């Protein structure tokens, strides 16, 4: 049939008259499938009706005369509709229905409809009065216009069909026409909002129309608004590369031969902005040629626009011919000669750049004349702005901005900062297209997705509910409608697969041959719809995908999603786990709710594994929403359990407990499930430090497993209980649990559990110093994991063996095992496994104070985690790296890494890690003298930790706060922050710091024996746990307490120095230097005392350890008093005062006031005043005292209040 039709052009031409262009193309491209698919379209509908027609038919009587008049009328109407590229949907007697936007869309369809309506009214008036034998009849027209979504489809049966549009918006347009009086154009408020800047209107009273509950606001069109121009956002963001290319072409054009340049790119990409910036440069003349899209068929109309704009009423005689053109070959030839001469004459006077603005709106004759213009010997550069590459021109393609430039554009546009997530979202949608970037921002703002808060735009509600509005969608559909029919159909079908898809998917789902699919896709790439990445295709902008998807019927969408879902299940097979989110989405949109839920559960579990906890929660919420339709108790329970696991991973203990408690209360849960949930609940309690109740729930889990006769569950739970006992130092109980687990595992022949049990038994022996037993059990575990070919466990055991031998000083054997661990990671070729191994080895090396090696491991691991987007592991690495720099007192680097880690933790929703880092930052800020930041960080840490139920972190934050308050002389607040039951602390090092803080308070209160008891306890803990950090904390407490009692501390200092030889604890070394200096003073060794104090002071300054600095200052001043070096005392006092004032700057008044009367500060001030007074050094005394608050200063000056020196001081301060 197609060949027959194609052979008869006359039939084709006749056929075209009865169908819209796209419908005709669909039929002619596939005549075997004549039923054209329906679409959802955003259109503008025009209804026009002749008034006076009934009277005319009565008076004319002769039907032939009536037909003659009607045809004359409709011929003119069709000319106008064709001019504005609408489609006549139908003729209804003397009425006409026109659609703008279906089957072909334009970005300005509402404007086209109104311009067409204005010309229709004028055309009818031109008909004038029609004379009949029975009298004259005046013909007029009334028009109604409405804009909105409709269904565009083929109506009818296989025998006969008619392409039309349907929907409430069509009915409203018809009803508005009935409201309009003769000669009036009435539009709806929906149409008005798109054209309010283009036309003059009269706002009328709202009218009630059939089918609408509320009255409709309407407007009467008064005419075209003069001087209307399209709006551009002329915000120029650096495009230096493209500007430089234009400059090179300009220099060549003016120096050698004229060039024609085509600057092309997508609509709104910034072509005009770039060219206008280029044209602002000097040294040449500029002529701008702008077209009128509604006058493109008028020869030289673009050129005459320029003439009229430039010359006004004083148009030169030789240019008037362009305004009255007769379409004759010779006349055109002469006009083209005049056209060329006009530009050549200007270029003879000055170098010339002609800018042709918007290829699609310039009339073809003007454009062709420029294309044919010979400029090789002229100083002319022609710059064209278009959306496509043009053969024969020098083409410069303009791409969208990257993420950084998009952010810069938005910042310039709004003049205040935007939250990074907003910029990321807009960039993802717009792909850096400046026009769409601004449009999407404005939509987000108007729809209240974002709002101003504290001087920046922030997200106000979930961006996932954002949808493409008609204004932006219309612009994109305008572009899509200009695509060839086969490509347009493929774009629609592909939109169902999302923004990126595999060529084989399209081929398989829609049964299209490989050759044909490749040909169509190549066409899509050339037109800018698609980009190709190997076998994968991506929409060049998500906006294309969303717009195309929006045109599909709901029923058709469901059919296509179902087809895609079932095809992908078969196609993906073993890879299906990585695409569960896509399959869930397809089945959800296909209406297959249960399959969608199953796939969404798979996705949630994968997200949880990848530490994408916020995303995981979103999938659970989606599952819960879908399950409201199914009302499945099974899925409800499963969703609650999964939520509990997510909250467990994020450290939100309270919410996690709520979830598991809700499940445990359900009577329908079987014993096995109860065992699982009880085990998780126990793990939660461990997080909160409630280890005793954790053990109770583990015992309950064992009971449930026994009832279910699940010996394997028992064995697993014994392992978990053993780990709790192990972490709390109850090694005997831990050993019993691991042995119970091992007995079950050996009887049940469960090698995995046996291997784990042997490993933990070995680890206990490792910790307690039973090296031979540890080595034996590590090797038993290793044998099992080798049999199971589990390289991961092999690597872990080798790493532990290595660490064990290193800790005993057997570095050679330790290094052998560690290298074996690494070689296994390399051998299995699993980069992730290797990265995790490096992370663990980094922790081991760091704990052994091999910081450089640890950093190498961490940096290697973080490079992999970053490349895979594994945020949780990245955050752990960053935090560990920060901890190394903190230990080395390189605090600036530590803070940078902690801040990066905390930002990542907030992204993943890991509140436990966030809380931990806040504690670390609080420590550093205190050490470096940033008191307010320290207190804020620690309070926030305590708040979050309390909310999520992690007692250890609450107590760790509180003990640091106690140190701050003690440092500032507030013993009452210090004591308040130490009011905890230490039995709830599970982490030994946190317990050690808590005990040390209590000991410091005892020393401050001169309760030295109590302090020494706590010091001895710390030493014992360190010895029991093989933890040198705890041991040296205890030694420092004892040295401080005993030296305050004038007891010799030589042995303790010696023991501490021995620990520091093997361990790098810079802060502890500094504290020990201060205490050692005091011992030298006590022994009368002033040389060693001075040397030690001066070295300590220099180190604290170098490392910015502000909180120890004042202690060294005061100790040095006291030492110089012994040898009466007054000038040194004055010098040190003035230097120390600078540190005091820096520390008190901005802190709350009560802390500041008490701080001045702490031991070191008071000593510094009193000694400074004493020796300045003795020297009668008034200038230095003024400098020394001027920063101290009046009430505090007066307190220190009491001793000299009766002196002239005091009076002079008072006069000057």
1154, 1163 in Cβ contact below 8 A? Answer: no
As a whole number of angstroms, the distance between CA 894 and CA 881 comes to 7
- pLDDT of amino acid 950: 76
> Pseudo-torsion of CA 861, 862, 866, 872, nearest 10°?
100
Which of 193, 224, 255 marks a domain boundary?
224
Name the residue among 74, 808, 1043, 1046 with its Cα closest to residue 1056: 1043
**Higher-scoring residue by pLDDT: 253, 210:** 253
Side-chain half-sphere exposure of 740, counting CA atoms within 13 A: 20
Angle (deg, nearest 10), helices 580-589 and 613-630: 30
Note whether 426 and 354 are same-domain residues: no
- pLDDT of amino acid 395: 92
How big is the CA angle at 279 (ends 274 and 281), to the nearest 5 degrees?
110
The owner of tokens 């029919």 is: 485
As a whole number of angstroms, the distance between CA 611 and CA 936 comes to 28
According to DSSP, the β-strands at 352-357 and 285-290 are: parallel
Note whether 973 and 1000 are same-domain residues: no
As a whole number of angstroms, the distance between CA 251 and CA 258 comes to 10
Checking phi first, is residue 85 left (phi over 0); if not, alpha (psi -120 to 50) or beta?
left
Residue 793 forms part of a structural domain: no
- Which alpha helices (H) appear in 1084-1146, and where do they start and end? 1086-1103, 1106-1122, 1126-1144
**996 C-beta neighbours (distance < 10 Å), count:** 20
- Rounded mean pLDDT of 60-72? 65
**Higher-scoring residue by pLDDT: 847, 306:** 306
Report CA-CA distances (Å) from 394 to 249, 385, 797, 1122, 1135.
Answer: 9, 12, 66, 88, 70
* Residue 350 DSSP symbol: S
Note whether 27 and 42 are same-domain residues: no
Residue 718 forms part of a structural domain: no
Note whether 258 and 346 are same-domain residues: yes
pLDDT digits (tens, 9 = 90+) for 848-862: 678 888 899 899 888
Q: What is the DSSP string of 777-817?
A: HHHHHHHHHHHTT-HHHHHHHHHHHHHHHHHTT-HHHHHHH
Q: For residue 1028, what are the contacts with CB-CB under 8 A and spacing of at least 6?
A: 1022, 1059, 1062, 1063
Name the residue among 859, 825, 829, 828 with its Cα closest to residue 842: 859
Note whether 61 and 137 are same-domain residues: yes
- pLDDT of amino acid 1065: 81
The owner of tokens 């060839």 is: 484
**What would the two tokens of residue 979 be?**
């009011």
Note whether 975 and 996 are same-domain residues: no
- pLDDT of amino acid 713: 92
Distance of CA 1156 to the CA centre of its chain: 47
Sheet holding 259-264: strands in order across? 285-290, 352-357, 380-386, 259-264, 394-397
As a whole number of angstroms, the distance between CA 643 and CA 624 comes to 11
**What would the two tokens of residue 218 be?**
């309407």
As a whole number of angstroms, the distance between CA 891 and CA 1048 comes to 34
Q: Does the pLDDT value for residue 1160 go beyond 50? A: yes
Note whether 352 and 417 are same-domain residues: no
Return the minimum-mean-pLDDT range out of 153-162, 420-429, 509-518, 714-723.
153-162
Residue 147 forms part of a structural domain: yes
- pLDDT of amino acid 33: 44
pLDDT digits (tens, 9 = 90+) for 32-62: 444 456 778 889 999 998 776 655 655 555 5
* Mean per-residue pLDDT over the chain, rounded: 83
Note whether 291 and 216 are same-domain residues: no
Q: What is the DSSP string of 680-749?
A: HHHHHHHHHT-HHHHHHHHHHHHHHHHHTT-HHHHHHHHHHHHHHHHHTT-HHHHHHHHHHHHHHHHHHT
The owner of tokens 């404007």 is: 111
Mean pLDDT highest for which of 197-201, 814-818, 1126-1130? Answer: 197-201
State the pLDDT confidence band at 753, using cuts at 50, 70 and 90: very high
**Higher-scoring residue by pLDDT: 896, 1050:** 896
321, 335 in Cβ contact below 8 A? Answer: yes
Beta bridge partners of 185: 143
921, 958 in Cβ contact below 8 A? Answer: no
For residue 1186, the domain's CATH number is: 1.25.40
- Rounded mean pLDDT of 488-499? 85
For residue 534, the domain's CATH number is: 1.10.10.10
- pLDDT of amino acid 184: 93
534, 543 in Cβ contact below 8 A? Answer: no
Q: Does the pLDDT value for residue 1016 go beyond 90? A: yes
- pLDDT of amino acid 471: 59
Coil, helix or strand at residue 418: strand
**25 C-beta neighbours (distance < 10 Å), count:** 18
The owner of tokens 């008891």 is: 1013
Residue 103 forms part of a structural domain: yes
Percent of the chain with pLDDT over 90: 24
Coil, helix or strand at residue 263: strand
Checking phi first, is residue 863 left (phi over 0); if not, alpha (psi -120 to 50) or beta?
alpha
Coil, helix or strand at residue 1128: helix
Return the minimum-mean-pLDDT range out of 167-171, 189-193, 440-444, 1050-1054.
440-444
Q: Does the pLDDT value for residue 14 go beyond 50? A: no
As a whole number of angstroms, the distance between CA 926 and CA 940 comes to 15
**203 C-beta neighbours (distance < 10 Å), count:** 11
> Pseudo-torsion of CA 676, 679, 683, 686, nearest 10°?
160
- pLDDT of amino acid 622: 93
* Residue 969 DSSP symbol: T
State the pLDDT confidence band at 680, using cuts at 50, 70 and 90: confident
Residue 425 forms part of a structural domain: yes
Q: Does the pLDDT value for residue 27 go beyond 60? A: no
Q: Does the pLDDT value for residue 68 go beyond 90? A: no
State the pLDDT confidence band at 429, using cuts at 50, 70 and 90: confident
What is the end-to-end Cα distance of the chain in Å, rounded?
107
- pLDDT of amino acid 227: 56
* Residue 398 DSSP symbol: P
**371 C-beta neighbours (distance < 10 Å), count:** 14
State the pLDDT confidence band at 134, using cuts at 50, 70 and 90: low
- Rounded mean pLDDT of 56-83? 72
State the pLDDT confidence band at 1033, using cuts at 50, 70 and 90: very high
Burial class (CB in 10 A: 0-12, 13-18, 19+), 828: middle
As a whole number of angstroms, the distance between CA 741 and CA 35 comes to 70
For residue 176, the domain's CATH number is: 3.30.70.1230
As a whole number of angstroms, the distance between CA 1157 and CA 126 comes to 100
pLDDT digits (tens, 9 = 90+) for 983-1010: 887 677 889 999 999 999 999 999 999 9
Q: Does the pLDDT value for residue 7 go beyond 60? A: no
Q: Does the pLDDT value for residue 931 go beyond 80? A: yes
**Higher-scoring residue by pLDDT: 1159, 469:** 1159
Note whether 519 and 390 are same-domain residues: no
> Pseudo-torsion of CA 361, 385, 300, 319, nearest 10°?
140
- The secondary element (H helix, E strand) that includes residue 351 is none
pLDDT digits (tens, 9 = 90+) for 550-607: 888 888 889 899 998 998 888 887 788 778 888 998 999 999 999 999 999 999 988 8
Report CA-CA distances (Å) from 854 to 658, 803, 815, 917.
Answer: 39, 13, 14, 19
- pLDDT of amino acid 1207: 81
**930 C-beta neighbours (distance < 10 Å), count:** 22
- pLDDT of amino acid 1062: 79
Domain limits for position 146:
36-224
Name the residue among 498, 253, 475 with its Cα closest to residue 376: 253
**What would the two tokens of residue 977 be?**
């922050």
Return the minimum-mean-pLDDT range out of 25-29, 484-488, 642-646, 1132-1136.
25-29
Residue 137 forms part of a structural domain: yes
**What would the two tokens of residue 947 be?**
């909310």
Residue 1082 forms part of a structural domain: yes
**Higher-scoring residue by pLDDT: 129, 188:** 188
As a whole number of angstroms, the distance between CA 261 and CA 382 comes to 6
Note whether 247 and 393 are same-domain residues: yes
Domain count, the chain: 8
As a whole number of angstroms, the distance between CA 934 and CA 964 comes to 9
* Residue 896 DSSP symbol: H
According to DSSP, the β-strands at 380-386 and 185-188 are: unpaired
Which of 397, 421, 444 marks a domain boundary?
397
Torsion 1079-1081-1084-1090 (CA) sign = positive
Note whether 309 and 389 are same-domain residues: yes
Beta bridge partners of 452: 457
- Which alpha helices (H) appear in 44-167, and where do they start and end? 53-60, 63-83, 109-127
Residue 479 forms part of a structural domain: yes
As a whole number of angstroms, the distance between CA 135 and CA 128 comes to 13
Checking phi first, is residue 32 left (phi over 0); if not, alpha (psi -120 to 50) or beta?
alpha
Note whether 290 and 358 are same-domain residues: yes
Report CA-CA distances (Å) from 327 to 305, 319, 331, 371.
Answer: 19, 17, 7, 20
Q: Does the pLDDT value for residue 739 go beyond 90? A: yes
Which of 1036, 1063, 1090 marks a domain boundary?
1063
């Amino acid at each position: 049939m197609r060949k027959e039709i194609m052979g008869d052009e006359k039939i084709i031409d006749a056929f075209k008259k009865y169908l819209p262009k796209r419908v005709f193309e669909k039929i002619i491209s596939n005549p075997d499938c004549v039923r054209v698919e329906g679409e959802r379209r955003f259109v503008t509908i025009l209804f026009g009706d002749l008034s006076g027609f009934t009277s005319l038919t009565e008076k004319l009587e002769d039907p032939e005369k009536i037909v003659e008049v009607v045809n004359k009328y409709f011929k003119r109407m069709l000319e106008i509709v064709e001019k504005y590229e609408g489609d006549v949907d139908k003729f209804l007697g003397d009425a006409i229905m026109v659609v703008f936007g279906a089957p072909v869309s334009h970005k300005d369809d509402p404007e086209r409809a109104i311009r067409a309506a204005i010309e229709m009214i004028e055309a009818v008036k031109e008909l004038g009065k029609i004379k009949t034998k029975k009298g004259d009849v005046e013909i007029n027209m009334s028009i109604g216009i409405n804009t909105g979504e409709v269904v565009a489809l083929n109506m009818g049966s296989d025998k006969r069909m008619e392409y039309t549009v349907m929907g409430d918006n069509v009915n409203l347009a018809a009803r508005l026409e009935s409201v309009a009086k003769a000669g009036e154009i009435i539009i709806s408020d929906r149409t008005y909002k798109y054209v309010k800047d283009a036309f003059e209107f009269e706002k009328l009273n709202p009218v009630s129309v059939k089918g609408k509950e509320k009255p409709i606001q309407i407007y009467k069109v008064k005419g075209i608004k003069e001087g209307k121009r399209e709006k551009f956002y002329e915000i120029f963001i650096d495009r230096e590369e493209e500007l430089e290319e234009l400059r090179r072409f300009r220099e060549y054009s003016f120096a050698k031969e004229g060039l024609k340049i085509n600057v092309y790119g997508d609509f709104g990409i910034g072509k005009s902005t770039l060219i206008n910036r280029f044209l602002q440069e000097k040294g040449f003349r500029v002529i701008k040629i702008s077209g009128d899209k509604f006058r493109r068929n008028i020869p030289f109309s673009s050129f005459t626009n320029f003439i009229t704009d430039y010359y006004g009423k004083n148009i030169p005689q030789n240019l008037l011919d362009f305004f009255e053109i007769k379409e004759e070959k010779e006349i055109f030839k002469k006009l083209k000669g005049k056209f060329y001469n006009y530009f050549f004459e200007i270029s003879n006077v000055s170098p010339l750049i002609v800018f042709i603005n918007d290829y699609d709106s310039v009339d073809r004759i003007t454009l062709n004349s420029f294309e044919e213009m010979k400029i090789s010997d002229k100083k002319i550069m022609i710059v064209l702005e278009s959306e496509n590459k043009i053969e024969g021109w020098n083409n410069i393609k303009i791409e969208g901005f990257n993420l950084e430039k998009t952010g810069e554009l938005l910042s310039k546009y709004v003049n205040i900062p935007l939250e990074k997530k907003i910029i990321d979202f807009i960039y993802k949608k717009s792909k850096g297209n400046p026009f769409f970037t601004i449009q999407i921002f404005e939509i987000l703002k108007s729809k209240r997705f974002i709002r101003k808060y504290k001087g920046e735009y922030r997200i106000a509600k979930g961006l996932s509910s954002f949808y493409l509005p008609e204004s932006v969608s219309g612009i994109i559909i305008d572009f899509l409608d200009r695509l060839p029919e086969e490509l347009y159909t493929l774009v629609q079908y592909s939109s169902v697969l999302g923004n990126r898809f595999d060529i084989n998917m399209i081929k398989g789902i829609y049964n299209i041959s490989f050759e044909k699919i490749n040909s169509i896709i190549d066409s899509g790439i050339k037109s800018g719809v698609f980009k190709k990445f190997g076998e994968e295709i991506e929409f060049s902008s998500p906006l294309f995908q969303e717009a195309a998807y929006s045109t599909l019927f709901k029923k058709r969408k469901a059919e296509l999603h179902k087809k895609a879902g079932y095809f992908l299940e078969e196609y993906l097979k073993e890879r299906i786990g990585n695409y569960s989110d896509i399959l869930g989405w397809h089945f959800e949109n296909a209406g297959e709710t249960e399959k969608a839920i199953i796939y969404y559960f798979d996705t949630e579990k994968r997200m949880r594994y990848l530490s994408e906890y916020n995303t995981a929660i979103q999938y659970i919420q989606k599952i819960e929403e879908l399950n409201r339709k199914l009302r499945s108790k099974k899925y409800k329970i499963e969703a609650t359990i999964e939520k509990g696991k997510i909250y467990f991973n994020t450290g939100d203990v309270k919410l996690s407990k709520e979830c598991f408690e809700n499940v445990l209360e359900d009577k329908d849960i079987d014993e096995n499930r109860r065992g699982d949930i009880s085990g998780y609940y126990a793990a939660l309690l461990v997080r909160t430090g409630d280890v005793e109740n954790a053990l109770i729930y583990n015992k309950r889990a064992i009971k449930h497993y026994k009832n279910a006769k699940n010996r394997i569950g028992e064995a697993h739970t014994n392992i978990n209980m053993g780990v709790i006992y192990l972490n709390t130092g109850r090694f005997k109980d831990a050993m019993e649990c691991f042995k119970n687990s091992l007995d079950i595992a050996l009887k049940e022949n469960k090698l995995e559990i046996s291997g784990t049990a042997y490993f933990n038994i070995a680890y206990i022996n490792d910790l307690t110093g039973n090296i031979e037993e540890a080595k034996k059990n590590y090797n038993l575990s290793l044998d099992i994991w080798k049999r199971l070919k589990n390289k991961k466990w092999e690597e872990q055991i080798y790493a532990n063996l290595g660490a064990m031998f290193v800790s005993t000083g057997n570095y050679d054997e330790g290094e052998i095992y560690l290298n074996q661990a690494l070689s296994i990671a390399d051998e299995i070729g699993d980069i992730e496994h290797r990265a995790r191994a490096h992370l663990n080895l980094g922790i081991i090396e760091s704990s052994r104070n091999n910081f450089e090696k640890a950093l190498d491991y961490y940096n290697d691991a973080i490079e992999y985690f970053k490349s895979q987007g594994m945020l949780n592991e990245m955050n752990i690495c960053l935090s560990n790296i920060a901890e190394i720099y903190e230990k080395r007192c390189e605090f600036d680097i530590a803070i940078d890494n902690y801040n990066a880690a905390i930002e990542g933790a907030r992204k993943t929703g890991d509140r436990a890690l966030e809380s931990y880092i806040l504690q670390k930052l609080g420590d550093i800020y205190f050490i470096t003298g940033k008191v307010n930041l320290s207190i804020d960080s620690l309070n926030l840490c305590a708040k979050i930790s309390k909310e999520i139920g992690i007692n250890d972190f609450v107590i760790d934050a509180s003990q640091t706060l106690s140190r701050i308050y003690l440092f500032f002389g507030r013993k009452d607040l210090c004591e308040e922050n130490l009011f905890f039951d230490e039995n709830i602390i599970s982490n030994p090092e946190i317990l050690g710091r808590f005990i040390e803080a209590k000991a410091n308070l005892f020393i401050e209160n001169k309760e030295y024996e109590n302090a020494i008891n706590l010091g001895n306890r710390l030493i014992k803990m360190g010895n029991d746990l093989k933890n040198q950090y705890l041991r040296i904390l205890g030694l420092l407490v004892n040295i401080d307490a005993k030296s305050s009692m004038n007891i010799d501390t030589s042995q303790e200092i010696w023991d501490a120095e021995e620990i520091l030889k093997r361990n790098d604890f810079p802060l502890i070394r500094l504290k020990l230097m201060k205490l050692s200096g005091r011992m030298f003073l006590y022994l009368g060794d002033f040389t060693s005392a001075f040397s030690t104090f001066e070295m300590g002071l220099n180190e604290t300054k170098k490392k910015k350890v502000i909180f120890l600095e004042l202690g060294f200052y005061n100790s040095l001043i006291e030492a110089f008093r012994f040898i009466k070096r007054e000038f040194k005392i004055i010098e040190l006092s003035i230097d120390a005062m600078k540190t005091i004032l820096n520390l008190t700057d901005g802190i709350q008044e009560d802390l500041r006031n008490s701080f001045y009367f702490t031991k070191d500060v008071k000593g510094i001030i009193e000694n400074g005043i004493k020796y300045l007074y003795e020297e009668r050094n008034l200038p230095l005394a003024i400098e020394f005292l001027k920063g101290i608050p009046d009430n505090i200063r007066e307190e220190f000056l009491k001793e000299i209040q009766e002196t002239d020196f005091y009076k002079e001081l008072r006069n000057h301060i």
